Structure 1
Amino acid sequence: MHTLICGSLAYDTIMVFNDRFKHHILPEQIHILNVAFLVPDMRREYGGCAGNIAYNLRLLEGRPLIMAAVGDDCEPYLARLKMLGLDATHVRRVPGTFTAQAFITTDLDDNQITAFHPGAMNHSHENRVGDAKGVNLGIVAPDGREGMLRHAREFHALGIPFVFDPGQGLPMFAGDELMEFLSLADYCCVNDYEAKLLCERTGRPLEALAREVRALVVTLGGNGSRIYAAGQTIDIPAVVPEAVLDPTGCGDAYRAGLLYGIQRGWNWEKTGRLASLMGAIKIAHRGGQNHKPTRAEIAARYRAAWGESLH
């Protein structure tokens, strides 16, 4: 059976400014801001939450299906998906649009200025969960606003359990809409900042929100993660990474581990441990999809980290 990954496919253009923004952005002149940054270092990465989650799930030899919307510039990404063995049957091309993309400029202090163009992502609601066959688990990851609402309702109507992963899309929704997502979803995964915002928007404490789903997972960066399930709180330590190079996509790698464990009916300790490991593997590489461990290598890392078999 397949795991349906509803979310974005995006290009990330990352540029490095070899100075500090504060030397060029004068606070007293902010009302007439007109600056240009010379960026001799630039790279383009394949990203988007759906792309990153599916990539990591494929590393685990899971069976992801991607449901997303892309624009006229999609050919390089589609070719990559084919090369990776990722099914693009449910990736919709929207003529006259660009694929979603972020333009990120980073200075020497790791400050970032980002411009994000959603493009075809705003048409994600044109995709239908019911068109994907052989699916018994899903995730609603950051995507177009209407697409996220529609896909959550469709998963629920079809009786397919799914993870609600609002991510950076969370601010698009009011408290009652977030409560609807939680009433429809079986699982929810947020980082610590998003957890605070979720509580603020809904007016409810985290423990109360956790009772709305089978499990509420909160990632805590270098402090690991916490899983609220069946009235219990399970703390999952972080795995020490080989290097800390780039946090981009670490949350998506973590979610792939969650989906893999849920699909196999594992307990939450084991599921959380695999998710933690996947995030640690990713952070040691730049970009969201440039780490390439085999399933056997992941299993060996899991045993080394946790002293138990992944199988």
Structure 2
Amino acid sequence: MSTLICGSIAFDNIMVFHDRFKNHILPQQIHILNVAFLVPEMRREFGGCAGNIAYNLKLLGGEPTIMATVGDDADSYLVRLDDLGLSRAHVRRIAGSFTAQAFITTDLDDNQITAFHPGAMTFSHLNRVADVPEATLGIVAPDGRAGMLQHAHDLAAARIPFVFDPGQGLPMFSGDELMTFIRLANYACFNDYEARLLCDRTGRSLEQLAGEVEALIVTRGGEGSHIHADGRRYEIPCVEADSVVDPTGCGDAYRSGLLYGLAAGWEWEKTGRLAAVMGAIKVAHRGGQNHRPSRDDIAACFARTFGSTLW
């Protein structure tokens, strides 16, 4: 049993500017904006939604299969996948391109200026779901526009249940296209902002949209999450983290818990609680893939928070 993770693999280049952007951007001169920031701190993280989700699902003991596209510069990421025991059989290298990359500069007020280069992600439609006949569950996470549309249709045609998780890619699609995704998918997952945007784009209420899928999940940051399923709304509390260090990748960690619970056939409350535990563990570490809890650690956090066993 394999869970097919369709989405991006990316590098996150994170830089820190030891001042405030507002001290260097003159409001009366923004029509000729030309600024440069010295960033003595920089780190490069392994990221991308498919990479992050698969990493967390592997920690849980799941069987993720990544379907993604990378560029000529992906050697270090591919070696990492090998070291983690994550198959790259369906990670396609696109010659003459860069791996998708985010360049994020943060100032002392935690303001951010981000540039994102999609690179090889644009060619994700070259990957075919039919090449993974062992898949029994899937997710369509943020990726190239054409690839997301194709993989959703392919998963539905193959009768593989899947989660639609557009994330930051949601604005790429019209209301009609989003309704197509919802009707093809078995489950859908959004943060609260994305859920509001989804309702605005489709002209439908959250309750109406929830009626189109087996479950619609809305994450709400520190306020927990809601799972709309079985004609009711499950209230999933936020799990207190050891510390709040970096929210990058928390949503992907949450989704790994959803996928694990779905694959295991768990009821929604337990599945949502595991998802919340994974998000809390991640937020205490920088980057999307630097936390390394064992299954015992995850189970201990679950038991400590909810007073029940996990495995």
Residue in 1 that maps onto 2:96: 96
Residue in 2 that maps onto 1:198: 198
Cα displacement (A) at 1:231 = 1.1
Task: Work out the CA distance in 1 between the residues paired with 2:300 and 2:241.
Answer: 14
Alignment deviations for residues 246-266 of structure 1 (CA, whole Å, 9 cap, x no partner): 000000000000000000110
Q: Secondary structure at the match of 2:44?
A: strand
Residue in 2 that maps onto 1:218: 218
Give the partner amino acid of 1:180: T
Alignment deviations for residues 186-216 of structure 1 (CA, whole Å, 9 cap, x no partner): 0000000000000000000000000010000
Q: Under a length normalisation based on structure 2, what TM-score does the superposition of the two structures give?
A: 1.00
Cα displacement (A) at 1:296 = 1.1
Task: Work out the CA distance in 2 between the residues paired with 1:235 and 1:130.
Answer: 36
Cα displacement (A) at 1:112 = 0.3
Residue in 2 that maps onto 1:184: 184
Residue in 1 that maps onto 2:128: 128
Give the partner amino acid of 2:78: L
Q: Secondary structure at the match of 1:115?
A: strand
Residue in 2 that maps onto 1:53: 53
Q: Secondary structure at the match of 2:30?
A: helix
Cα displacement (A) at 1:169 = 0.2
Give the partner amino acid of 1:182: I
Residue in 2 that maps onto 1:31: 31
Task: Work out the CA distance in 1 between the residues paired with 2:216 and 2:261.
Answer: 15
Q: Secondary structure at the match of 2:271?
A: helix
Residue in 2 that maps onto 1:164: 164
Task: Work out the CA distance in 2 between the residues paired with 1:203 and 1:111.
Answer: 32
Cα displacement (A) at 1:134 = 1.1
Residue in 1 that maps onto 2:155: 155
Cα displacement (A) at 1:67 = 0.1
Cα displacement (A) at 1:286 = 0.2
Cα displacement (A) at 1:27 = 1.0
Q: Secondary structure at the match of 1:87?
A: coil
Task: Work out the CA distance in 2 between the residues paired with 1:231 and 1:183.
Answer: 17
Task: Work out the CA distance in 2 between the residues paired with 1:27 and 1:9.
Answer: 37
For structure 1, the 5+ residue unaligned runs are none
Alignment deviations for residues 266-303 of structure 1 (CA, whole Å, 9 cap, x no partner): 01000000000000000000000000001111111111
Superposed, 1:70-149 pairs within 5 Å as: 70-149=70-149
Residue in 2 that maps onto 1:256: 256
Superposed, 1:260-271 pairs within 5 Å as: 260-271=260-271
Task: Work out the CA distance in 1 between the residues paired with 2:23 and 2:235.
Answer: 42
Q: Secondary structure at the match of 1:110?
A: coil
The answer to whether the aligner puts 1:41 opposite 2:44 as a matched pair is no
Residue in 1 that maps onto 2:175: 175
Cα displacement (A) at 1:123 = 0.1
Number of aligned pairs?
A: 311
Q: Under a length normalisation based on structure 1, what TM-score does the superposition of the two structures give?
A: 1.00
Aligned-pair RMSD on alpha carbons? 0.4
Q: Secondary structure at the match of 1:12?
A: strand
For structure 2, the 5+ residue unaligned runs are none
Task: Work out the CA distance in 2 between the residues paired with 1:70 and 1:250.
Answer: 23
Cα displacement (A) at 1:133 = 2.7
Task: Work out the CA distance in 1 between the residues paired with 2:86 and 2:157.
Answer: 26
Task: Work out the CA distance in 1 between the residues paired with 2:203 and 2:109.
Answer: 36
